[in-house]
Amino acid sequence: MEEQLAELAAQVAAIEAKGNMTNTMFAETYYYLSIPLMIIIHAGFLAYEMGASRAKNALSSGVKNILAIAFVIPAFYFFGWWVYWGFPTGFSLSEGPNGISGAAYANSIAWPWGDSAAYMGPNTEDQIDGVFWGAFTLFAATTASIMSGAVIERIQTVGFVILAIILGGFSWTLAAAWGWHADGWLVQDWGVHDFGAAGLVHAVAAFFALGVLINLGPRIGKFNADGTANHLAGHNMPFTATGLMLIVVGFWGFLMACLVVGGEAWSWGANFTTIYGTPTNLGALSFNILMGVSGGIIGAWLFTRDPFWMMSGALAGLISVASGLDIYFPSLTFIIAIVAGIMLKPAATILENMGIDDAVGAVTVHGTMGIFGMLMLGIFASGYPALTGEGAPTVSFIGQLVGIVVFVAIGFSTGYVSSLILKMVGMLRVPEAAEIAGLDTVKVPAQAYPEGIMASPPASQ
């Protein structure tokens, strides 16, 4: 009898071990697939910004996007990942509430050398850390691409790369440590909930860009002597609209990577959860992503028939509901997204009237809508648990507002100060003659259309 019980126990243990391995392999594959989907975001930004540039600057705008992803990846590998795990409780580097965060934990898993090197390179016994790091790395690269569009046609390439490293390797990562980490002080003390990173990715990147734009100044010819603005149209609207649609495609990878997949590698069981441990699933994303995209487009279409703003409305709709994609009912998502689409063009015009030349409306799409989305969650999800577990903090309007203030402050202060230093040493803006001639010729050097763009034939009389 004892032998039979022992054999049965061994069989049960083997089945459990096999199930845990299957769950872990699924989690590994899940995050691995989210990475190429997020790279589609960068293909979208590439097309979007090249099309929104004038022909003489098209390749220069593309080069910035290529360099952004290239430089942010190693920046996040060498120090960005450590910042996320090292600073959740603030700048004290002390242990977090559950005893697994802070400098000691970051040192043990996030440095590419020493004892933690096993987690930061090929390791046959570690089936999750590499792909989870990869997903976070693409979040970091996305922040740099958000900033990139705002500053096209007049920024120095090297200066832009430095700014991208600061934003992707530090600024947004600090915000994520505080508001996108179960031990983050914004989560623990204020109940901040930002599932889809409307604030800690989009708003941080947008207000970083705003700080840069203040020091960078407008493009030549953008504003008249009386302060009125001129429209500097990009050379290829179809390319821009296609790029924006590719960003929407990539958002599926971005948002699926915001889920935590249950398995042996995690302590929250075998189900999908948010990064805060609260329950959700892929069905919630399927309903709400689609309703957010459609609502944003419809809202922008109601206010303007411009295809640029309609496709930007798709992004605005998604960002405006991103904080609550895990819990919103689809009809509420649709309503919030429509309002965001309606707000989009007027909000961009207000910024332009303040003398800010945001070439693609990035500050409005990602910043204004990120703030709007976090506030909406504070209203509609007030009282919802911000974390899993008994006695967990709850979502509140005041808590979301505090999160907004912190995210905006991190983004704007680091963007403004770093770009001011670059301006002082002559590394921020290209010379006037180079800007007039076009950056493709003087900075790439190549031309997107060396034989010229054929003009449409005149209409017959």
- A 10 A CB-CB count for 215 gives 18
Strand partners, 429: 155
Concatenated DSSP letters of 149-198: HHTTTTB-HHHHHHHHHHIIIIIHHHHHHHHSSTT-HHHHHH----TT-I
- Short-list 356, 340, 415, 372, CA closest to 163: 415
Q: Compute the average pLDDT of residues 270-292.
A: 90
Q: What percent of the chain has pLDDT over 70?
A: 89
Find the radius of gyration of the CA atoms of the chain: 23
- Residue carrying the six token digits 């995690």: 266
- Residue 262: pLDDT band (50, 70, 90) is low
Quote the CA–CA distance of 239 and 424 in Å, as a whole number.
36
Q: What is the pLDDT of residues 391-426, one digit of tens each?
A: 889 999 999 999 999 999 999 999 999 999 999 999
Residue 460: strand, helix, or coil: coil
Residue that wins the pLDDT comparison between 11 and 231: 231
CATH class of 19-443: mainly alpha
Residue 17 clears pLDDT 50, i.e. is over it: no
Q: Which two tokens stand for residue 351?
A: 């910024």
Q: Which two tokens stand for residue 266?
A: 């995690």
Q: Measured between alpha carbons, how far is residue 171 from residues 6, 40, 85, 112, 204 in Å? A: 55, 23, 14, 20, 7
Q: Compute the average pLDDT of residues 434-439.
A: 94
Quote the CA–CA distance of 110 and 119 in Å, as a whole number.
7
- Short-list 65, 35, 243, 41, CA closest to 148: 65
Answer positive or negative: Cα dihedral of 199, 204, 207, 209: negative
Read off the pTM: 0.91
Cα torsion for 144, 215, 438, 63, to the nearest 10°? -10
- Residue 388: pLDDT band (50, 70, 90) is confident
User: Is omega for the bond preceding 445 within 30 degrees of 0, making it cis?
Assistant: yes
Q: Compute the average pLDDT of residues 315-333.
A: 97
Domain ranges in the chain are 19-443
Q: Looking at residue 4, what is its pLDDT?
A: 59
Q: Looking at residue 95, what is its pLDDT?
A: 56
Q: Among 62-76, 120-134, 154-168, 351-365, whose mean pLDDT is lowest?
A: 120-134
Q: Compute the average pLDDT of residues 34-63.
A: 95
Residue 117 clears pLDDT 90, i.e. is over it: no
Q: Assign residue 361 a region: left if phi > 0, alpha if psi is -120 to 50, beta otherwise?
A: left
- Residue 5: pLDDT band (50, 70, 90) is low
Quote the CA–CA distance of 363 and 411 in Å, as a whole number.
11
Quote the CA–CA distance of 354 and 146 in Å, as a whole number.
21
Given a contact cutoff of 8 angstroms between Cβ atoms, the answer to whether 312 and 150 are in contact is: no
Given a contact cutoff of 8 angstroms between Cβ atoms, the answer to whether 240 and 315 are in contact is: no
Residue 223: strand, helix, or coil: strand
Query: Could you give the residue ranges of the DSSP H alpha helices within 53-91?
Result: 58-75, 81-86
User: Is omega for the bond preceding 330 within 30 degrees of 0, making it cis?
Assistant: no
- Computed over every residue of the chain, the mean pLDDT equals 89
Q: Looking at residue 461, what is its pLDDT?
A: 41
**Residue 327: DSSP 8-state:** T
Q: Compute the average pLDDT of residues 147-160.
A: 96
The β-bridge relationship of strands 273-274 and 259-260 is antiparallel
- Residue 192: pLDDT band (50, 70, 90) is very high
